[in-house]
Structure 1
Amino acid sequence: MKAKMFMAATLVMVLFLMAACSGNNGSTGTNGNASGKPSPSSSETAGTSNPDAAAPDPVTLKFMLFGDKPADLDKVLAKFEEVSKDSLNTKLEFEYNTPQDHRQKMQLKMSTGEAVDVMFDAGWMNLYNHVSLGYYAELDKYFNNDEYPGLKAAFPAEFVEANKINGHLYTIPLTYYYTDLNVISIRKDIREELGLGPITTLEELEVYLQQVQEKKPDYTPLALGGRGFHKLFTPSENGRTDIRLAAIGSDSFTGGIPFSVALSEDGKKVIGAATLGDPDSEFASFPAPFNTHASIYGHFQKRVDWSKYINKDALAPATGVVSDKGGAGEGTIGGISRDRQKLQEAYGTGLDIEPFVYESDDVRNMKPGAIRTDFRANNSVVIPASSKNIDRTMKFFDWLFSSKANHDLFELGIEGEHWVADGDNGYKTTANTTKYQFQPYELTWNPSLSRLNSDQDPATMNYLQYALDNKNYFQIALSGFIFDSKPVATELAKIKPKFDEVEQILKVGYEKNWLEMAQSLNKQMRDSGLETVRAEVLKQVQAYLDAGGK
């Protein structure tokens, strides 16, 4: 089964690449089309497929994303309205929040029915819970549909099928590679100034941080943003199929509570489910070395140990290697070139950044089969079922994914101003790139349309190419399992706010008595129905295995 799913995932990526190479209704030949008028090869996808048709009534669509609003977003939206007025006659309004506020406001808006047309959501946010609660519209009919040729070309049927939840598609799945590798961005110029060699291990990274702290006291050795240490220090299954780890909240696949789930050696029986703060007895039946609480959740102690290197406002969204004068910062490989440009604009061209990939030693050394994935899109956008503009919203997405020119406008900005083309599938930055740094993983990522930034250092480029190759991934256990939160919605509504509040503190190492805090949280969760949720997790996982799931 695992091999079949891996082959299916590989086929999906092959189909994507075939689409990119053969042309995706204008995936080639439309570069430099600043007027927005389609080339003959993309005439049907630039919003002018029927010039005699009357423009639809005007509509304003409300988008809800997280992060920082790009400075030139309004300029790009004005360009969009100019080139699409006759076909879409649509205005877009964007609301941006911090990641934590986004998660909370999503829940509030869905529960109150407040008008929103598009929201970012993902399995590591509220996606599966909200689908179970009926908050999101089914989108099946818009894909593999000749009335939506842009969506049909950009999203092969196999990829759509892989991202269905309980037999239906509730998302527009966004991916460029299955994993945007997690990194510590090292200030290369500072490392060299300190006389240190390239950093290849966590031990060498700590030596570097110590040196920055000692010799550059006006710098923050490790500047963290809103996600804290994220997955630094967390364990990995390393290809095992007898356990699915959820060492932090964003890895939860069980309703937002990070239960790690153990299976029998043959993968046919569920052995147990344990979470943060549980006694060791809950882990006793787990396969070694994951048979203690510390083996899965002990990484929070390392966060405490390293908290002496981080900024005092590590939960604030605007921190990082650039804005905090950081000696290093936590992020992803896809953000290296962006941060480098920001750094050089702020402090001079002699400054530089280099990546230290911290996923695991095997990933850092780019070994095959080392990156964990479930072969589903890690990011996505959804359309609330309460939206009054579902068809018009999907027409916008059809337009967006119908040509390279349309897609480039939102993902990269105005060509010649915010970026310049480098061949059919690459781009280079300009002096104005930092004025439009859109978050592509929240709206536009697509393997057949997204361009690769050519302004990369060799190490970063090698890692990006590594992440694009499916042979470098392993499929985690229970990769097709979707937890239905409806039977325990009441319990989760009580438990999850308690967990989220405590994890905010633990993920940055602010509480040295973290274990006592975790155990206290666990007692509160048990008092709120944790055992009911645990029993439901075990029940649903076993039903999934009995049905042939892996």
Structure 2
Amino acid sequence: MKHTVLRRIRILTILLSVLLLAGCLPDSGRQDGSSRTEPPPPVTLKIMVPGERSSDFDLVIREAERRLADSGISIKLQMEFVPWNDFGTRSQVALSSGEEIDLIFDAPWLHLNEMIASGYYEPLDVLLKQYGPTIIAKRPHQMWDANRFRGHVMAIPLGVSHVMSHSYFVRKDIREKHGVPPIKNYEEMIRFAYIVKEKEPDLVPLIAGGTRSQQLYSQAAFRHYHDSASHLRPTQALDSSLMLYYQHNNGKVHNVFKELDSPVRKWVEEARILYTDGIIHKDVLGIKDFQEPGMAGQVAIFPTGSFYVGELAQETLKEHAPEGEWEIATFFDDVPGANISDFSQWNFIAVPVASKHKEEAIRFLNWANEKPNYDLLAYGIQGTHWEPVGDDKFNQRNTRYNQSAFVWIWNPEDERILESDARTERLWRFIRDADNFVPDILTGFEFDSTPVQAELDRFNRIEAKYYTPLFNGVLDPDYAWSQFEAEAGQALEAIEEELQRQVDAFLSR
């Protein structure tokens, strides 16, 4: 009898153990008898972008994370903001060292093609098809077709238009003080700059981009953005330089060293006159952010990539010059058919190969490209930071949230137009309509740098010494051109010939 009882106890013990392992018994810590299932911890996405963190940024991100959770997406956002002038170096070091980053800003004028060629970015075709249908739908086919790399989507284009909205910030209060009419063309702007020099001795008339990363914003190079007569524009081989350029729409590559009558040389000569006359800031090459002196009330004119002046720019100026006011002077030709576009974009967001959360990164961007979420991340909390005006415009209530959408989520369908004057709104709508532009015959062309990579490396090193000093008038072109050519002419000619060969092959297909 005693052995029978012990045997039964052992059997019950075994059965209980099996039931516990199988999870068939209720959790003794739960009164309702249900199983304890802990949700997985949220994935933290690490995102690196250029710019500065707004004072209300964390407030907006908390709201975004709440909405993500309500949508069933368990994601936290960890943003690293890097000053614009430091971003190229910081991002390159991060990528080359394999730092864990899930989304990162890049651009052709920064080092996008180099990073793609180095294998640092994940191809996104499959990920977008699986997890990014909204990302795809919010961009027109011209944008996708023109921004592939060797046939693949290597980064998501961030753009809302088919050309950039280049213009100049001009001190409206100073212009009106001296009875100067609104500026309508470049010549009138330069005349105003000389008036500033004569009558406002404490104010620098003009500044432009003086660092390597800003060379298309240098005084001479910026002129090409308003060159609708010859459509002069950079090439795919040197996409932030005018030392090689296209003109008109015929596929011919031009080399500044070889063409003494080049418009580029004329612009450089004019920049030299402006510099020696004291119109261009004397320290133009030493200022990392060329817009800062203007915002500090020290400069009357500087170039910009926008058709309108934001509230933050006005507020910053008034902190230093209480009577100060900015206005825009643009010389863009808004006649349909007057401009050429290859529909390429200037800003991109990429997923590094080192990311451990590639799927979640695309799922987040897909969520961010839904209209209510885009409004939140682009403009802040409605009623606190901004108010809608109709379906596609907005008013900014304050600048406590002022984060650039173009560094991480920009898309042309959801981006709103800041309510402004009728001409500015018309210009914004104009550049968003692909039908207003003549397609570039090289739309979709990609330059393979492999055959001339050594020459490209050599040329880029040499160009860094000459380009911005020449294009801002600091160097005398009478001798600087010859020095520049003696050092870099052979390398540039090799690049030119290879580019022309590839262009001809592309056009003959």
The interval holding the TM-score normalised by the smaller chain is 0.7 to 0.9
Q: How many residues align?
A: 459
* Aligned counterparts of 1:514 and 1:233: Cα–Cα separation in 2: 17
Match of 2:155 among 171, 182, 195: 171
- Preserved CA contact (<8 Å) 1:333 1:460: no
Evaluate the alpha carbon distance shift between residue 446 and residue 184 of structure 1 in structure 2; reply closer, same or farther with a 3 A threshold: same
Match of 2:267 among 288, 296, 299: 299
Aligned-pair CA distance for 1:266: 10
Give matches, 1:493-532, under 5 Å. 493-511=457-475, 513-526=476-489, 529-532=491-494
* Aligned counterparts of 1:531 and 1:130: Cα–Cα separation in 2: 25
Partner of residue 73, structure 2 = 87
Evaluate the alpha carbon distance shift between residue 515 and residue 134 of structure 1 in structure 2; reply closer, same or farther with a 3 A threshold: farther
* Aligned counterparts of 1:295 and 1:148: Cα–Cα separation in 2: 44
Partner of residue 196, structure 2 = 212
Give the partner amino acid of 1:95: F
Match of 2:120 among 135, 139, 144: 135
* Aligned counterparts of 2:360 and 2:478: Cα–Cα separation in 1: 50
SS of 1:466's partner is: helix
* Aligned counterparts of 1:536 and 1:466: Cα–Cα separation in 2: 36
Partner of residue 43, structure 1 = none
Task: Report whether the alignment pairs 1:416 with 2:397.
Answer: no
SS of 2:299's partner is: coil
Partner of residue 274, structure 1 = 255
Partner of residue 533, structure 1 = 495
- Preserved CA contact (<8 Å) 1:123 1:253: no
* Aligned counterparts of 1:521 and 1:466: Cα–Cα separation in 2: 40
Aligned-pair CA distance for 1:348: 7.8
Evaluate the alpha carbon distance shift between residue 340 and residue 98 of structure 1 in structure 2; reply closer, same or farther with a 3 A threshold: closer
Q: 1:366-422, CA deviations, whole angstroms, 9 ceiling, x for partnerless residues?
A: 322223321122321222223332222111111111x22211122112222221222
Partner of residue 47, structure 1 = none
* Aligned counterparts of 1:514 and 1:197: Cα–Cα separation in 2: 33
SS of 1:173's partner is: strand
- Preserved CA contact (<8 Å) 2:253 2:500: yes
Aligned-pair CA distance for 1:472: 3.3
Give the partner amino acid of 1:380: F
Evaluate the alpha carbon distance shift between residue 532 and residue 221 of structure 1 in structure 2; reply closer, same or farther with a 3 A threshold: closer
* Aligned counterparts of 1:197 and 1:237: Cα–Cα separation in 2: 23
% identical equivalent positions: 25
Evaluate the alpha carbon distance shift between residue 217 and residue 313 of structure 1 in structure 2; reply closer, same or farther with a 3 A threshold: same
SS of 1:321's partner is: helix
Match of 1:148 among 114, 123, 132: 132
Partner of residue 506, structure 2 = 544
* Aligned counterparts of 1:327 and 1:339: Cα–Cα separation in 2: 17
Match of 2:358 among 380, 390, 397: 390
Q: 1:219-267, CA deviations, whole angstroms, 9 ceiling, x for partnerless residues?
A: 2222445533374333877476xxx844xxxx3411556453669x995
Evaluate the alpha carbon distance shift between residue 297 and residue 537 of structure 1 in structure 2; reply closer, same or farther with a 3 A threshold: same
Aligned-pair CA distance for 1:331: 0.9
* Aligned counterparts of 1:368 and 1:177: Cα–Cα separation in 2: 14
Partner of residue 122, structure 1 = 107
* Aligned counterparts of 1:457 and 1:77: Cα–Cα separation in 2: 32
Give the partner amino acid of 1:229: Q
* Aligned counterparts of 1:163 and 1:266: Cα–Cα separation in 2: 19
Partner of residue 228, structure 1 = 218
Please say which structure displays the higher CA radius of gyration: 2
CA RMSD of aligned residues (A): 3.2
Partner of residue 183, structure 2 = 199
Aligned-pair CA distance for 1:302: 1.8
* Aligned counterparts of 1:56 and 1:213: Cα–Cα separation in 2: 64
Partner of residue 441, structure 1 = 406
Given the two structures, how large is their TM-score scaled by the length of structure 2?
A: 0.80
* Aligned counterparts of 2:274 and 2:51: Cα–Cα separation in 1: 26
Partner of residue 367, structure 1 = 335
Tell me whether 437-446 or 488-497 shows the greater mean CA deviation: 488-497
Evaluate the alpha carbon distance shift between residue 498 and residue 185 of structure 1 in structure 2; reply closer, same or farther with a 3 A threshold: same
Evaluate the alpha carbon distance shift between residue 348 and residue 324 of structure 1 in structure 2; reply closer, same or farther with a 3 A threshold: closer
- Preserved CA contact (<8 Å) 2:220 2:264: no
- Preserved CA contact (<8 Å) 2:295 2:317: no
- Preserved CA contact (<8 Å) 1:220 1:310: yes
- Preserved CA contact (<8 Å) 2:51 2:82: yes
* Aligned counterparts of 1:354 and 1:474: Cα–Cα separation in 2: 30
Given the two structures, how large is their TM-score scaled by the length of structure 1?
A: 0.74
Unaligned runs of 5+ in 2: 1-36
Task: Report whether the alignment pairs 1:185 with 2:169.
Answer: yes
- Preserved CA contact (<8 Å) 2:46 2:80: yes
Tell me whether 80-89 or 378-387 shows the greater mean CA deviation: 80-89
Match of 2:418 among 423, 435, 453: 453
* Aligned counterparts of 2:142 and 2:228: Cα–Cα separation in 1: 26
* Aligned counterparts of 2:280 and 2:428: Cα–Cα separation in 1: 27
* Aligned counterparts of 1:546 and 1:305: Cα–Cα separation in 2: 43
SS of 1:309's partner is: coil
* Aligned counterparts of 1:325 and 1:124: Cα–Cα separation in 2: 28
Aligned-pair CA distance for 1:336: 1.6
* Aligned counterparts of 1:55 and 1:544: Cα–Cα separation in 2: 54
Aligned-pair CA distance for 1:188: 2.0
SS of 2:79's partner is: strand
Match of 1:254 among 232, 237, 255: 237
Evaluate the alpha carbon distance shift between residue 112 and residue 343 of structure 1 in structure 2; reply closer, same or farther with a 3 A threshold: closer
SS of 2:292's partner is: coil
Partner of residue 281, structure 2 = 311
Give the partner amino acid of 2:383: G
- Preserved CA contact (<8 Å) 1:185 1:354: yes
Evaluate the alpha carbon distance shift between residue 262 and residue 388 of structure 1 in structure 2; reply closer, same or farther with a 3 A threshold: same
